[in-house]
Structure 1
Amino acid sequence: MAIRKLALVTFSIFFFSQAFAQRIDEGGLKQLNFYQDSLKHLGSTFINDANDLVRKNANYQFIKTLVAALKTPNSFLFPFDSVKTITLTRSPDDRFRIFSWHVANDDGSYRFYGAIQANSTGPLKLYGLEDYTPLLKSPEDSVTDNRKWFGAQYYTIIPVGSTNPYYVLLGWKGNNDQSTKKVIEVLSFKNDRPVFGMPVFNGNGRKRKRIVFEYARQASMLLKYIPSQHLIVFDNLSPADKKTKDKPETYGPDLTYDGYRLIGEQWSYVDNLDMRNIPNEEDANYIDPRATIVPVKATTPIKKKKVQ
């Protein structure tokens, strides 16, 4: 099975590379490879350099270089697969792709950056994403645009519906030196412009526009999509001690699982999922490369915390 999967992936990469090579002329391909080399170097700098100012300057130069690269005709087909410091996720319907990445601050917090590139045969259609996180006081109840983005680094795109289509995004959000966040985001397009957030998550009498998880930075949280069951599954998070129930930075997985199941075009909360019935599919979740991954377990029996 593993050999068959590897062969299929290898064939897919070969087929895709041949397809885009045929549609990008030799000059354009050479130019994109040149840009990719620059992006690879700049990305390594804004992730690894110890100096805060150097990281930020490298990131600003990275943004300018990426925009210049994407102005190359048919750049949507170019995979930028050598730039390992960003996440590039393509929608399954090939309508768009999202570039997303982060730059760490000296205090352990993060600022996120990104862009949505539409699949267009004409001039470049690119929407920059501006991280507005500190000013969003109630993110689970907010609908925003690309200039007020609840920044995250996305690793999964789930298309939903046909009448009023939208996309669910799973992403890693980082946070600070004490806690990490993940997010279930919603992206739609209105008048050909991106909109973030939509009241499609139902649970315990409350409807949310996006879902935000927060847990101890030393912990690792599962958040993945099971296509065969139309189910987003995630670790239930509990505090290490019931005395710290109001401190999400003490939370970690308690070895039970909850989820959101797609019913129609809405997502309904389900708890106590039996993971024995969940296919063992690869989890592409993004983990903070600077964090030490140590699962947090409850030290005393904790009453299961429901999604409110």
Structure 2
Amino acid sequence: MKRFLLFAFSLLTCYHCFAQHADESANTKQLQVFQDSLADLGKAMVNKEAGPERINANYQFIKALVTALKVPNSYNFPFDSVKAVTIVNSPDNTFRIISWHVTNDDDSYRFYGAIQMNTNGALHLIPLEDYSPLLKNPEDSVVDNRKWYGAQYYKIIKVAAEKPYYVMLGWKGYTADATKKVIEVLSFNQKGAAVFGMPVFDNKKGQKRIIFEYTRQASMLLKYIPEQHLIVFDHLSPPDNKYKNRPEMYGPDLTYDGLRLKNGRWEFVQDMDMRNVPSEQDNNYIDPKKSADSIKMTGQ
């Protein structure tokens, strides 16, 4: 009798494993089909010359993306063929952020995104709504997902403070003359809602997030060095003192500053010696206007 029960149990276990594997395989095939559609819509968002066409492609993209993410186990699907978006997982793998932009006809940008929580059940998606033009003091603002200071993130850093939070590095295209990068802070309240902005930077201004603005003609280094718990960035300055009130004229001056993590907070470090900084580069987001041949995604 015991042998029979063990045999029956083994059969049930094998059947369950086979069914589970079949379901996962079917889900993956379904997600691959969605990925192909999203890749095509992403190319349209970037390549279409008329603004209304790009916007229409973006709306179709959003609908298709939400439908795709409702497929079971979508969190583990990388969507790595969809070049128009950036997908970054948190270091503890509790969530990932999907972010992208659409270029307006005046060469400004509108950002879109969502936080997908890592759940074993139904989709938990937090949409992000770009509120940038209406934020009067973005460096001093603590906002929710409906008033997001839009950006396209390429790095997430987890900080194990008394109240854990995440620091994110992002690119934020701005105007035809200037671009921006941002150091954003993300946390979750007791109800699980996303909160952006937190006074964790020990500098004179006490910002909730740090925003860099500089000329569109320049590139700016903003990267995280995990071995040193350090965020390092170019020091930006005007080409002449008469332009000190025009950040769109600023650019790197070949010196570097940083933020070093200490006891859950970030201390400002001035005039860093870059000889002690590892040379590996983050996959920083590049202004699409500067590398059109590779970013336009024609046939990739």
Q: What are the within-5 Å matches in structure 2 for residues 240-255 of structure 1?
A: 240-255=239-254
Query: Is this contact kept in 1: 2:107–2:175, CA < 8 A?
Result: yes
For 1:270 and 1:117, how far apart are their aligned partners in 2?
34
Superposition misfits of 4+ residues, deviation over 6 angstroms: none
The alignment status of 1:198 with 2:203, answered yes or no, reads: no
For 1:196 and 1:184, how far apart are their aligned partners in 2?
11
For 1:24 and 1:238, how far apart are their aligned partners in 2?
56
Structure 2: gaps spanning 5 or more residues? 1-19, 293-300
Q: Deviations over 1:154-201 (max 9, x none)?
A: 000000015311000000001000000000000000111110000001
Tell me the SS of whatever aligns to 1:147: helix
Structure 1 residues 254, 66: CA separation in 2 closer, same or farther (over 3 Å shift)? same
For 1:154 and 1:82, how far apart are their aligned partners in 2?
18
Structure 1 residues 148, 24: CA separation in 2 closer, same or farther (over 3 Å shift)? farther
Instruction: Name the residue aligned to 2:41.
Output: 42
Tell me the SS of whatever aligns to 1:283: coil
1:285 Cα offset (Å): 1.0
Structure 1 residues 275, 51: CA separation in 2 closer, same or farther (over 3 Å shift)? same
Q: What are the within-5 Å matches in structure 2 for residues 83-98 of structure 1?
A: 83-98=82-97
Instruction: Name the residue aligned to 1:30.
Output: 29
Structure 1 residues 263, 23: CA separation in 2 closer, same or farther (over 3 Å shift)? farther
Q: Deviations over 1:194-242 (max 9, x none)?
A: 1000000111x33111000000001000000000111000000010111
1:23 Cα offset (Å): 9.1
For 1:292 and 1:256, how far apart are their aligned partners in 2?
25
Tell me the SS of whatever aligns to 2:64: helix
Query: Is this contact kept in 2: 1:178–1:217, CA < 8 A?
Result: yes
For 2:23 and 2:85, how far apart are their aligned partners in 1?
23
Q: Give the counterpart letter for 2:202 in structure 1.
A: N
For 2:141 and 2:69, how far apart are their aligned partners in 1?
30
Q: Give the counterpart letter for 1:131 in structure 2.
A: D
Instruction: Name the residue aligned to 1:297.
Output: none
Query: Is this contact kept in 2: 1:115–1:129, CA < 8 A?
Result: yes
For 2:251 and 2:23, how far apart are their aligned partners in 1?
47
Q: Give the counterpart letter for 1:195 in structure 2.
A: V
Structure 1 residues 147, 23: CA separation in 2 closer, same or farther (over 3 Å shift)? farther
For 1:22 and 1:84, how far apart are their aligned partners in 2?
29
Instruction: Name the residue aligned to 2:118.
Output: 119
1:283 Cα offset (Å): 2.3
Instruction: Name the residue aligned to 1:137.
Output: 136
RMSD: 1.4
Instruction: Name the residue aligned to 2:271.
Output: 272
- From the CA coordinates, give the structure whose radius of gyration is larger: 2
For 1:162 and 1:275, how far apart are their aligned partners in 2?
27
For 1:215 and 1:235, how far apart are their aligned partners in 2?
11
Structure 1 residues 22, 168: CA separation in 2 closer, same or farther (over 3 Å shift)? farther
Instruction: Name the residue aligned to 1:227.
Output: 226
For 1:207 and 1:69, how far apart are their aligned partners in 2?
40
Identity %: 62
Name the TM-score, length of structure 2 as normaliser: 0.88
Structure 1: gaps spanning 5 or more residues? 1-20, 294-308
Length, aligned pairs only: 272
1:277 Cα offset (Å): 0.4
1:289 Cα offset (Å): 1.3
Instruction: Name the residue aligned to 1:8.
Output: none
Instruction: Name the residue aligned to 2:4.
Output: none
Tell me the SS of whatever aligns to 2:146: coil
1:265 Cα offset (Å): 0.6
Q: Give the counterpart letter for 1:116 in structure 2.
A: I
Q: Give the counterpart letter for 2:173 in structure 1.
A: G
